[in-house]
Structure 1
Amino acid sequence: MLCYYFTGSKYGLDNLKKKRLKVSNLNNLNDPFEMLCVETADKKVKSKLTFAKDAVAQNFGILCFSGNWTNPVQWGHYAENHSGLCLVFDIHEECLREITYVPTRLSPRDIDLDTEEAAFTLMTTKFKHWHYEQEHRSILWLSGLDKESELYFRAFDDNLKIKQVIIGVNSKLKKSDIVKIVPRDVEVFHAKLHDTEFKVTRDRTK
């Protein structure tokens, strides 16, 4: 399936040149409720969740993708106010886990925190107000990734295949800047604001 990765211009160009993406640590994501989708009024439950989050952060990394590139909020939040890029990847569905969005935190009675599957539920359940992201996650063992200093990277390959590069509405980058650093079969195009709807669309004049 096609998945969309929003990034700033500098890091986007670096990703394309080095054919890789930086893998996020669970503790560095922008949602403070990561892995805390369960009610924590009970101190034992809170302790279990804290332990689980630390254990997962030490062993796993996350790549976050969207199922949609036309939402202007995504561009505003993750692509430097529309001046960055959206990298489009073809990813096998079995490599992804779709986020479930919920209106309230889960009850400890509804999830067995001692099971392996519970960890994946915790990593893929978020508050409903994040729904606009239409997020899909690739959850990766850190031990299988390339490491540089204290950062981890996932290389492009057949399971993370770059297909398109979309240049943001306010970007100073030109199509020629991108074409020269990506494979010939990668499509590069500019975005523009839609004329009648609150969304971003393809600019066919450039």
Structure 2
Amino acid sequence: MSNQKNWVADPFEFNDPFEFSLIDKYYHNNKGKIEHFEKEHLERIKSIEDEISEFGVVCYSSDYINNLLWAHYADNHKGMCLVFDVPEEKVPSLYKVSYSKKFPLVGITKESENYKEIIPVVTTKSIDWSYEEEYREVFIMKNMLNDYPGELTEIIFGCRTPFDDIQIVRDIAISKNKDIKISKMHIAQNQYQLMKGTTGNNMEIPKFWKLKNLKM
């Protein structure tokens, strides 16, 4: 956060073993019959697989309140969520993830461009993950830092984030943007839901934020 950059991750290290999978041996034609790829297309698929192995992604979501996202990607609610205001000209570089029951199929014609074929592969996941409402920024390199997609406007802490961590991150954030919004998730009363509370003054963190699993 102090350098205003995101980490471009290696998807092959993600918790989903199916990342960057594509149909690579045979496919079902329009009549539902199995068609095996010819040698030329198999070679092309191998070329795409070799190229795609170097790709990296930064993952985003349009849903900051989902309990599973906090559990899976925010250190069991002890982490935080960064909220960005993405400028219009930057939006086309963020790909909405498609959710499917089948791997994507790359083009059969040799005239197809590898990069255009790769984008659907790196932005398709199992339908089981559809609750994530994910968007991806795609790079031809990985394990590196890259600029934020827009202005960092808000930091939302998890319901279990240690108070000391909140204060440290808050201090770094306001040194970059004194008007940044500071929020924290809390457990809703009598429901399996999270709700967000925002401090009216980011210079003062409410003392009750020290309490873990506080129901609001």
TM-score by length of 1: 0.74
Corresponding position of 1:123: 122
Deviation at 1:55, TM superposition (A): 0.8
| Structure 1 position 53 matched with structure 2 position 49 | yes
Corresponding position of 1:176: 167
Corresponding position of 2:100: 102
After TM superposition, the structure 1 = structure 2 runs for residues 43-192 of structure 1, keeping only pairs within 5 Å, are: 48-58=44-54, 60-91=55-86, 92-106=90-104, 108=105, 111-112=107-108, 114=110, 115-116=112-113, 117-142=116-141, 151-156=143-148, 159-174=149-164, 175-182=166-173, 183-192=177-186
> Quick one: structure 1 residues 85 and 38, their matched pair in 2 at CA, closer, same or farther if it must change by over 3 Å?
same
Corresponding position of 2:197: 203
Task: Confirm or deny: 8 A CA contact 2:19 2:122 kept in the other structure.
Answer: yes
> Quick one: structure 1 residues 131 and 39, their matched pair in 2 at CA, closer, same or farther if it must change by over 3 Å?
farther
SS in 2 for 1:32: coil
Deviation at 1:20, TM superposition (A): 1.4
Deviation at 1:140, TM superposition (A): 2.3
Unaligned runs of 5+ in 1: 1-15, 143-149
* Whole-angstrom distance in 2 between the partners of 1:39 and 1:132: 27
Deviation at 1:49, TM superposition (A): 4.2
Task: Confirm or deny: 8 A CA contact 2:181 2:198 kept in the other structure.
Answer: no
| Percent of aligned positions that are identical | 23
SS in 2 for 1:180: helix
Deviation at 1:123, TM superposition (A): 1.0
Please say which structure displays the higher CA radius of gyration: 2
Task: Confirm or deny: 8 A CA contact 1:36 1:49 kept in the other structure.
Answer: no
> Quick one: structure 1 residues 172 and 53, their matched pair in 2 at CA, closer, same or farther if it must change by over 3 Å?
same
* Whole-angstrom distance in 2 between the partners of 1:32 and 1:135: 17
Deviation at 1:132, TM superposition (A): 1.1
TM-score by length of 2: 0.71
Unaligned runs of 5+ in 2: 27-35, 200-205, 207-216
**RMSD (CA atoms):** 2.7
* Whole-angstrom distance in 1 between the partners of 2:109 and 2:76: 39
SS in 1 for 2:50: helix
Deviation at 1:39, TM superposition (A): 5.9
Deviation at 1:76, TM superposition (A): 0.5
* Whole-angstrom distance in 2 between the partners of 1:204 and 1:85: 14
Task: Confirm or deny: 8 A CA contact 2:83 2:154 kept in the other structure.
Answer: yes
